[in-house]
Structure 1
């Protein structure tokens, strides 16, 4: 096989992509991503040893987080970015090794992770295509499964850490943990039991990472507010911003003010409409379109430029490729990249001037959607919610957070939402909500039946909401709540949310539309037996199962 990748839900045949990625990733790009991860492990090994000697290298911290983010599904499609990144990583690794040598100490690890070196792109490609860099280099299926479960959790955590860092919020203890963990998963002596324990630790730090980002977002932009978001268009030229990074939309709104150019959000950037800091901008129109996978149609009809701030990029069509721009960890060959300047700012002038030359967006829908139900907002109406539970008006809550995707089987989530009893509430975060957030599902005593907390990282908000309800109802465990988890997953940020929920003791999580291909049968059985993890079947049987939990 020319490559191997099974990190996303849509992987070929539910087992792994071996010729090219279902996502559109070619084998040479997939292999270069594997090489970057291989190098990241080497940097983590030497930096972990350096930390024990009191040596810290902030460039290594930033490099590791950014590199993990770059290799998330649908983030970066530019092979040249990976050549440059590997070259930079080798410099950082060698610099740390030299710093260790100057103390008189010696590296205890002499593996290829630490010692491999290359200079040319040809050497990089040769190494990237070698068997030792491949995921399949780990022969034991269960060890490989747990190593990748941990790796994908760390990739998701890295995404959240990079967003927090953009707002000036960092936690060295999380960086140190990530690097020590990356070093540990290269150790062939690590047992299954040790790797299982390590995966739970990843969940623990996942909670810390999401809490850090929540603090960064709310301290900078205020707590999300319940908001009616316009989904129609105006007659000015516009810029469409997609992804997750709130710092990027802040700067874009500042720079477009007074230019006659409107700004619209797309997919997971919808959450920006809920933050009070952004509501002062009259040219911030609302949201355009749906989840990431529909962008080829929606980007074409938008007419104006599109700024991709994070992953969720589908290889662009020629009809709008010249209108696409990338920034942060993202990249597409032939697409203009917006660099971050030394002071941490970005200059979006080229996008704004481009927008002025474009036609206004074509309207694809009208109306409003409601969101902004983060933990602070729900806390303000907790008494009302608790009363509705106690008097029987609300029978059950369903956490339907996570990612959307292209598989036809995902119509399940729309049907499930439509068939839920009218005395149930949906708690959601992430782009999975686009399957049902525009349906007229009504309310219960004025409480909307779909409570959208925001982005995938705002699953933290859903956990905080559940804990507040547990305390308000006088329950001992979060698992005693009338609450079921029916979560859709697609990529690695869903993995860190999953591990975080397991760490918090949440049981009986159902994951769909398929279980991850990287979970071996034995690892899957462990999750089933110890946490009650399950898959989805069909809406009728699943509803019967969920609604009868705890009923004798």
Structure 2
């Protein structure tokens, strides 16, 4: 018997499954505790269905519980046990569930594949619903689908029924991404194009990683006039574009590159690091005492910052630690993966659509011949240099939209401009795939065609479950001929892959030159 089984992320061992220890660093006990939590969440959803009752507590447990099991979020066994106990208590409050549970990873290959696809999509959507709820925004239809999705995972379905459920989920995730977009922009303003320095100033500083803008906002408020600079890391970079965050002068820049380089880049860092969401790797001894976690993030031995019932947090331990460590003695020159020292962000749908006429005219005149969306999750897989080479090879008369941490492969490149617009437009975090969808639909409307008839190609990199829910949303919208890499997900069976290839033209990346030639010469 394997010690564990996990194949939810791109780096899974041999592209088949981790059975001894997770490539992410997750130990078998942690993996099995996370599986127990998933079973608990399924029972809670079924108990709510049986009793006809739903509570705010149950809803929050479903969402935060799913998020807890997402890749690189929580490695703390005790915190997972405590969370599972809360789930069991709430299930009993709803009358309990007296039926059997499906074994998630057992059954015929196609059923396990489709069941896993829906479960992993739900995990990704849970992250977005979590952030929305933290800002006081909730959509009943989205929340209800967590109950429905978890309940349906426990049932038998034909392949056709599974696919229908998955496509329905894709549409619900679109609503969830729209909800988070509204939550972020209503609270912090519409992002504007912003240049961000990657060099680090001397003196005390704090690095903030993850995705949660409210955590960053609270920390900025609490560090005003304290002589501490705040630097974003990885997926927090797009925060610099939000007016209500960029108004803080001590939001000084961005530290390091993509999340998977943290063990090297945080080596001996003279500052604390706050992880607000996923992308936490097992900390190395040289900086382990400086790692702080909050929300659903957890790692044994790390200091965890909790919030009150309204989500308000006291970051005093972090602030005092930053002052004690003191930061670098001198300004420190750093750079992106390609040697650049400045990054540009803030091209969410608000900014791009404000320039829609300029883009439309450029397409009509031939100044822009093609638009590429090159983005998604980054990771340590050796094939990921594909995305750097692909972007370098894009012709000068093309635009590159990007989002999520995959952009760190190329976002410090200067590819010039077209009509005053940078050729690389960073649209934001992974959830800002919604911005890309909004832009694509607006362009299709302007040209009186479908998205698939636009001079637009999606070249996606995936790593974890938020990428899964985004892919399912794009498929549910009927987007075709997407390129996906660096590998096809291990949880997709041959039958499911064939359906996606035959129906949607989904194809694995090959070589940058080969794919570029196929894209530009298609049709």
Give 5+ residue unaligned stretches, structure 2: none
Alpha carbons 1:143, 1:192 under 8 Å: kept: yes
- The residue aligned with 1:143 is 111
Q: Could you say which residue in structure 2 is the equivalent of 1:71?
A: 69
2:281 pairs, out of 307, 311, 314, with: 314
Which residue number in structure 2 is paired with residue 387 of structure 1?
Answer: 361
Tell me the distance in 1 between the aligned counterparts of 2:118 and 2:54: 24
> What are the residue-to-residue correspondences of 1:159-170 with 2, within 5 Å?
159-170=127-138
Question: Does 1:22 pair with 2:20?
Answer: no
Residue 287 (1) aligns with residue 248 (2): no
Runs of 5+ unmatched residues, structure 1: 99-108, 114-131
Segment drifting more, 500-509 vs 365-374: 365-374
| 1:520 pairs with 2:493 | yes
Equivalent position of 1:92 in the other structure: 90
In the other structure, the counterpart of 2:225 is 258
Deviation at 1:49, TM superposition (A): 2.8
> 2:81 aligned to 66, 80, 83, which one?
83
Distance 2:93 2:161 in 1: 31
Q: Is the contact between residue 242 and residue 269 of structure 1 (CA under 8 Å) also seen in structure 2?
A: yes
Query: Secondary structure at 2:350's aligned position in 1?
Result: helix
Deviation at 1:510, TM superposition (A): 1.1
In structure 1, distance between residues paired with 2:348 and 2:444 = 16
Cα distance, 1:430 vs structure 2: 0.2
Separation in 1, partners of 2:319, 2:90: 36
The separation in 1 between residues aligned to 2:448 and 2:216, in whole angstroms, is 41
Q: In structure 1, how many angstroms separate the alpha carbons of the residues matched to 2:132 and 2:310?
A: 16
Match of 1:111 in 2: 99
How well do the aligned residues superpose, as a CA RMSD in angstroms?
A: 1.2
Residue 301 of structure 1: how far off its partner (Å):
5.1
* CA spacing shift, 1:343–1:181, aligned 2, 3 Å: closer
- For residue 401 of structure 2, give the secondary structure of its aligned residue in structure 1: strand
Change (3 A) 1:343 1:178: closer
Secondary structure at the residue paired with 1:332? coil
Task: Report the 3-state secondary structure (helix = DSSP H, G, I; strand = E; otherwise coil) of the residue aligned with 2:375.
Answer: coil
Q: SS where residue 459 of structure 2 aligns?
A: strand
Q: Partner residue of 2:264? A: 297
* Range moving further from structure 2, 296-305 or 66-75: 296-305
Output the CA distance in 1 between the equivalents of 2:91 and 2:448. Answer: 52
Please, which of 332, 353, 359 is the counterpart of residue 326 of structure 2? Answer: 359
Aligned equivalents of 1:15, 1:304: Cα separation in 2:
38
Question: Are 1:439 and 2:413 matched, yes or no?
Answer: yes
Contact 2:349–2:439 (Cα < 8 Å) also in 1? yes
1:153 paired residue number:
121
C-alpha separation in 1, matches of 2:174 and 2:131: 15
Separation in 1, partners of 2:244, 2:148:
37
Q: 1:236 aligns with which of 186, 197, 203?
A: 203
Number of aligned residues: 515
TM-score (structure 1 length as normaliser): 0.92
Give how far 1:242 is off: 0.2
TM-score by length of 2: 0.97
Match of 1:545 in 2: 518
Q: Which residue of 2 aligns with 1:129?
A: none
Equivalents in 1 of 2:50, 2:477: separation in Å?
A: 30
Residues of 2 paired with 1:343 and 1:431: CA distance?
A: 30
- SS for the counterpart of 1:8 is coil
Aligned to 1:364, what secondary structure does the other structure show? coil
CA distance in 1, matches of 2:289, 2:100: 41
Cα displacement (A) at 1:181: 1.5
Distance in 2 separating the partners of 1:370 and 1:174:
32
Structure 1 residue 2 and structure 2 residue 3: aligned?
yes
Indicate the SS of the match to 2:500: helix
Three-state SS of the structure 2 residue aligned to 1:484 is strand
Q: Are the equivalent residues in 1 in contact too, given 2:268–2:287 (CA < 8 A)?
A: no
